[in-house]
Structure 1
Amino acid sequence: MRTDAWHSRAAAGRFVLSSPVQTFIIVVILVNAVILGLETSPAVTESFGGLLHVLDQICLGIFLIEIALKLYAERLGFFRNAWNVFDFLVIGVALIPGADGFAVLRALRVLRVLRLISVIPSLRRVVDALVRAVPGIVSIAALLVIVFYVGAVMSTMLFGARFPEYFGDMGASLFSLFQIMTLDSWSAIARTVSAEIPWAPAFFVPFVLISALTVLNLFIAVIVDAMQGLDEDRVRNGEAPVHEVTVGGHGEAAVLAELRELRAQVAHLTQSLESGARPARE
C-alpha cells in the first residue's frame, strides 16, 4: 500500500511539473491578469462583473489544484523550496475574505500575476541574481545615502535662505535632490537657483554626475555581475547558462523529479533486499 501511495505521489509530481501543465498554468496566470485588470474598469464591471468574478474563481480553483497536487507529491518537502512557499502565500492571500475590514486584501489578488516569476525559469534567474546582488546593492545604497546627506546639508546652508521652497530645510532639500538625481526637471531647479547665484552649477553638476551618472549605474553593474556569476555557476555545474535544461523533452524540474523518484526506488529496493536477507541468515 505504501508503495502504491508513493507511486501515485510520484505520478502527481511528474504531471504537475510537466511542460504542458506548466504552459497551461502560465496561460491561466495571464488570463487572470487580464481579468483583474478589467475589474478596475467601472463600465466593464457593470456589464460583465458577474462573468469576470466567475472566471476569476475558476482561475483561483486551478491554482489551488496545482498547489494541492504539489503538496500531495512533495508533502513537507514542498516547503523546502522558496518558490513553492512564494506560490503558497500568493494563493493563500486570495482565500482571505475580502469584505469589511479585509476589503484591502481584494487588491492583493493581483499578486497572483507575480506567479509568472516562479513558473518561468528566465524570470526566476533574474530574481536569483537580484537576491545575490543584495550585499552589493546595500553597500551602494549606503554610499548614496551619504552623498544625499552631505548634499542636503550643503544645499540647505547655501540655498535655503533664498529658495526655501526647494532647500528650506533638510526634508525639502532631500526631496529636491532626489528630483535632481532622477533628472526630473532638474534643470528647472538648477536654472532658478543659478539665476540668482551664478556659482550654483558648481554644486548641481557634480551632484548629478555623482548621483545619477555614477552611483545609479553602479546598481546596474552589480546586478549584471550577479547574473554573470549565476551563469558561471551553472556552467561550472554542467548546466545551461541561459536556457532551461531539457532532457528527453522534459524540463529541468521534471528531470529532477524523476531523479528523486529513481533515488527513492533504489532506497526501497535496498531496504527490501536487506529485509529479505535477514531471515535467510537466521
Structure 2
Amino acid sequence: MPSVILTIQNRLKRIDASPVFQWSIIVVILLSALLIGAKTHNLPDNAMQLLTVLDVIITIFFLFEIVIRFLAFKDKKSFFKNGWNIFDTIIVIGSLIPEGGSGVLLARLLRVFRVLRLVSMVPELRLLINALLKAIPRMGYIALLMFVIFYIYAAIGSLVFHDINEVLWGDVSIAMLTLFRVATFEDWTDVMYETMTVFPMSWIFYLTFIFLTAFIFLNMMVGTILEVMSKEHELHRAEQHGESGEGGEPASRAQIEKLEQELAEIKQLLKQQKPHL
C-alpha cells in the first residue's frame, strides 16, 4: 500500500513539474484575467451565462491544480511553510465563494485577485516580489526620514504662506498634501509663482524641497531596491548551480574565488612534486 501511494505521489510530482502543466496554469490565469475584464462590460444575457460557465470551469481547474500540488508533497506540513503556497491556497479557496447573495462583492473581489497567481507561477516575478518585500524595512527608514522633511517644510509653508492661499497652506496636513503635489511635479510651478508674488525668494523653499525629496530620497529608494534585487539574483544563481557555503546557505563569490585559488595552489604543488617522483 505505501508503494502505491509513493507511486501516485511521484506521478503527481511529474505532472506538477511538467512544463505543459505549468504553461496551462499560466494560460488559465490569463484567461481568468480576461474573463474579469469582460464581465465589466454590458454584454447580452447569453454571453454573461457563457462567462459564468467559464468562471466555474476556471475555478474547478484551480482547485484541481492546488490539490495536485498538495498531494505531490510527501510532508504535507511543509507545503504550508512556503508563503506562495499559502497565498495560492487562500486565493483558490476564496474563489469557491459563490457570486450570488450578500457575498457577491467579496466573491468578485477574490476572483480579481486570481490574476496575482501569475506572480507565484513565474519565478522571475517571484524573485522581484521577494526582493521588494525584503527591501521594505530599509525603505521604511527612508520613508520615515521623508516624512520628517515633509513635516518640517509643511510647518514652514503653513506659517509663511497661510495668508497667500489658505486652501493650499491652511494647516500642516493640507500643506503636506500641497508638498506632495510639488514632489510629484503636478503643476508645482503654479504654486511657486503664487507665493513668489509676495515672497520673491520663496523659490528657494521649493527647489530645496524638490532636491531633497525627488532627487535624493527617491534615488535612495531606487538604490535600496536595486541592492536587494542584486543580492536576490546572486542567491538565485547560487541555488541553481548548487553552490552552498557553511550553514547550508549559498556560497558567496568571495568563497568561490578562494576555493579556486586554493585549487590552483594545490595543482602548482603537484606539478612541482612530479619531477621528484
Tell me the TM-score normalized by structure 1. Answer: 0.80
SS in 2 for 1:96: coil
Structure 2 matches for 1:1-282, cutoff 5 A?
1-42=1-42, 44=43, 46=45, 48-74=47-73, 75-105=76-106, 106-237=108-239, 239=241
SS in 1 for 2:185: coil
- How far residue 237 of structure 1 moved from its aligned partner, in angstroms, is 4.1
Can you list the C-alpha shifts for 1:24-82, whole angstroms capped at 9, x where unaligned?
1001101110110011112x365611111111111111111000111212233221111
- How far residue 217 of structure 1 moved from its aligned partner, in angstroms, is 1.9
Instruction: Supply the AA of the counterpart residue of 1:108.
Output: L
- How far residue 236 of structure 1 moved from its aligned partner, in angstroms, is 3.9
* Separation in 2, partners of 1:238, 1:92: 32
* Separation in 1, partners of 2:239, 2:8: 31
- How far residue 98 of structure 1 moved from its aligned partner, in angstroms, is 3.2
Counterpart for residue 250 of structure 2: none
Check conservation: 1:38, 1:45, Cα contact below 8 A.
Answer: no
* Separation in 2, partners of 1:146, 1:97: 47
Instruction: Supply the AA of the counterpart residue of 2:94.
Output: V
* Separation in 2, partners of 1:175, 1:54: 47
- C-alpha change, 1:31 and 1:236, in structure 2 (3 Å) is closer
* Separation in 2, partners of 1:89, 1:233: 28
Percent of aligned pairs with the same amino acid:
31
- How far residue 238 of structure 1 moved from its aligned partner, in angstroms, is 5.3
Check conservation: 1:22, 1:119, Cα contact below 8 A.
Answer: yes
* Separation in 2, partners of 1:192, 1:89: 52
* Separation in 2, partners of 1:157, 1:166: 12
RCO higher in structure (CA 8 A, sep ≥6): 1
Instruction: Supply the AA of the counterpart residue of 1:27.
Output: V
Tell me the TM-score normalized by structure 2. Answer: 0.82
- How far residue 163 of structure 1 moved from its aligned partner, in angstroms, is 1.1
* Separation in 2, partners of 1:238, 1:87: 24
Instruction: Supply the AA of the counterpart residue of 1:24.
Output: S
Instruction: Supply the AA of the counterpart residue of 2:52.
Output: H
- How far residue 102 of structure 1 moved from its aligned partner, in angstroms, is 2.1
- How far residue 114 of structure 1 moved from its aligned partner, in angstroms, is 0.4
- C-alpha change, 1:127 and 1:167, in structure 2 (3 Å) is same
Can you list the C-alpha shifts for 1:118-147, whole angstroms capped at 9, x where unaligned?
000110110111122122111111111111
Check conservation: 1:90, 1:112, Cα contact below 8 A.
Answer: yes
Root mean square deviation, CA, Å: 1.7
SS in 1 for 2:197: helix
* Separation in 1, partners of 2:102, 2:188: 42
- How far residue 6 of structure 1 moved from its aligned partner, in angstroms, is 1.6
Check conservation: 1:39, 1:45, Cα contact below 8 A.
Answer: no
| Mean CA deviation greater in 61-70 or 47-56 | 47-56
* Separation in 2, partners of 1:70, 1:165: 57
Check conservation: 1:60, 1:91, Cα contact below 8 A.
Answer: yes
Structure 2 residues not aligned, in runs of 5+: 243-277
Structure 1 residues not aligned, in runs of 5+: 241-282
- How far residue 10 of structure 1 moved from its aligned partner, in angstroms, is 2.1
SS in 1 for 2:201: coil
- How far residue 108 of structure 1 moved from its aligned partner, in angstroms, is 2.7
